């Protein structure tokens, strides 16, 4: 970005004092109309953006918090956007500000957008979402002392470069395992994301730990991974169902994979709940309407929004915070002896 025009440059070109330029912007009624016209012409010529130059002098902030709307090149939809943005908007308003939406490319390429928003004093800080492995934004913002808080931990690097809130995925899958163990299952499969996906690895850890803690089998042959975490076709479930010693229950790392398992079960004449217990993760709108209903883990979206805004203004609470999802039990994980009222 070219260096921004300064107040001084405008004053010099217009042959007036800095105060006069400031008045032209903030108190035009104080100036003679001819002077005002002259200063404004120079402001236009130089493309001067007063907010940028005057930032340090300003007594008022923009009153806006920036939020980047993710691009989602995979075409997937975040069905929680409605709940999350509504909650976030309301929380930010509670602090007397508003949310400014913008788009930016992922990774380093996107930092120019953040820089431009700051240079124009368009925002006072950022709420980050859609964090990725190696996400450069947190360290970049911290280095510039820009207030921010993140929904989603930064998966690499300690200490974490700033406050964050995240869903405790391991706690969620552990709850699912405990629910299945309580119904007598001891051989519980895990339908995971691609290896190395930190969200999937986290959820797998919870499954593994809870199985070990509660006497269920822990065996790598009980793990299968989905090739497409957004549109799973059931291959992962098929691999476990067709094995020599198939599990009697399946914990899926997300609802899309669990719904893929519905297809794999149906193709084998099996029904979720009745024949094989099945749980998802996310409690998507679909979970409640498929038949039988899909047991899943509901993310505490409203609580996340409240905590993110709190951390934005209280970065001294700079430790990261994991929020526990809630298991919503539906018919897919409960053997009701052939009942079809799922």
Residues in contact with a second copy by the rule CB under 8 A: 7, 18-19, 22, 25-30, 40, 43, 50, 54, 57, 59-60, 63-64, 67, 69-72, 77-83, 85-86, 89-90, 93, 98-103, 122, 231, 256, 259, 262-263, 266-267, 284-286, 288-291, 340
Residues whose CB is less than 8 angstroms from the CB of residue 133 and which lie 6 or more positions away in sequence, other chains included: 155, 156, 198
Q: Check: CB of residue 318 under 8 Å from CB of residue 163.
A: yes
Q: Which residues pair with 66 in a beta bridge?
A: 100, 126
Q: If you write DSSP's letter for every residue of 77-99 in order, what string do you get?
A: --TTHHHHHHHHHHHHHHTT-EE
Cβ distance to a second copy smaller for residue 29 or 158 = 29
**Are the beta carbons of 176 and 251 closer than 8 angstroms?**
yes
Instruction: Give the nearest distance from C-beta 215 to a second copy in angstroms.
Output: 34
Residue closer to a second copy (CB basis): 31 or 210: 31
Least distance between a second copy and beta carbon 187 (Å) = 26
The distance of closest approach from Cβ of residue 298 to a second copy in the complex, given in angstroms and rounded to an integer, is 12
In whole angstroms, give the CA distance from residue 163 to residue 178: 31
User: Based on CB atoms, which residue is closest to a second copy, 185 or 330?
Assistant: 330
Query: Of 151 and 262, which CB lies nearer to a second copy in the complex structure?
Result: 262
Q: How far is the CB of 115 from a second copy (least distance, A)?
A: 15
d(CA 193, CA 199): 8
Measured from the CB atom, the residue of 174 and 287 that comes closer to a second copy is 287
In terms of CB distance, is 148 or 262 closer to a second copy? Answer: 262
Q: How near is the Cβ of 264 to a second copy at its closest, in Å?
A: 11
CB burial class (10 A; 0-12, 13-18, 19+) of residue 298? middle
> Whole-number minimum distance, CB 272 to a second copy, in Å?
11
Residue closer to a second copy, measured from CB, 214 or 291: 291
Residue in this structure with the two tokens 């002098």, named with its chain if needed? 57
Instruction: Report the nearest approach of a second copy to the CB of residue 101 (Å).
Output: 4
Pairing of β 326-328 and β 296-298: antiparallel
Can you tell me the distance from the alpha carbon of 261 to that of 294, in angstroms, rounded to the nearest whole number? 11
Distance CA 169, CA 172 (A): 5
Instruction: Find residue 249's DSSP bridge partners.
Output: 188, 277
CB 36 within 8 A of CB 103: no
């Amino acid at each position: 970005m070219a260096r921004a025009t300064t107040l001084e440059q405008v004053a010099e070109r217009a042959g007036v004092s800095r105060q006069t330029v400031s008045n032209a912007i903030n108190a035009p009624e104080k100036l003679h109309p001819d002077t005002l016209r002259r200063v404004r012409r120079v402001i236009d010529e130089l493309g001067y953006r007063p907010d940028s130059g005057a930032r340090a002098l300003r007594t008022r902030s923009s009153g806006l918090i920036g939020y980047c709307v993710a691009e989602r090149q995979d075409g997937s939809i975040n069905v929680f956007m409605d709940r999350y943005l509504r909650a976030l908007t309301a929380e930010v308003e509670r602090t007397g500000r508003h949310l400014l939406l913008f788009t930016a490319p992922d990774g380093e390429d996107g930092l120019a957008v953040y820089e431009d928003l700051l240079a124009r004093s368009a925002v006072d800080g950022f709420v980050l979402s859609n964090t990725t492995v190696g996400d450069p934004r947190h360290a970049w913002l911290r280095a510039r002392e820009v207030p921010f808080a993140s929904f989603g931990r930064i998966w690499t690097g300690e200490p974490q470069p700033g406050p964050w809130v995240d869903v405790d995925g391991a706690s969620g899958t552990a709850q699912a395992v405990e629910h299945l163990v309580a119904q007598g299952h001891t051989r519980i499969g895990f339908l995971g994301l691609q290896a190395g996906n930190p969200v999937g690895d986290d959820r797998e850890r919870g499954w593994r730990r809870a199985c070990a803690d509660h006497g269920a089998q822990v065996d790598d042959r009980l793990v299968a991974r989905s090739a497409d975490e957004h549109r799973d076709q059931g291959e992962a479930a098929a691999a476990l169902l067709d094995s020599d010693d198939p599990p009697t229950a399946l914990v899926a790392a997300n609802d899309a994979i669990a719904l893929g398992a519905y297809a794999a079960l149906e193709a084998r004449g099996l029904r979720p709940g009745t024949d094989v217990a099945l749980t998802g993760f996310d409690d998507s709108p679909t979970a409640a309407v498929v038949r039988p209903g899909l047991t899943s883990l509901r993310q505490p979206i409203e609580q996340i929004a409240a905590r993110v805004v709190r951390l934005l203004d209280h970065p001294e609470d700079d430790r990261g915070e994991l929020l526990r999802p809630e298991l919503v039990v539906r018919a897919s994980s409960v053997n009701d002896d052939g009942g079809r009222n799922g």
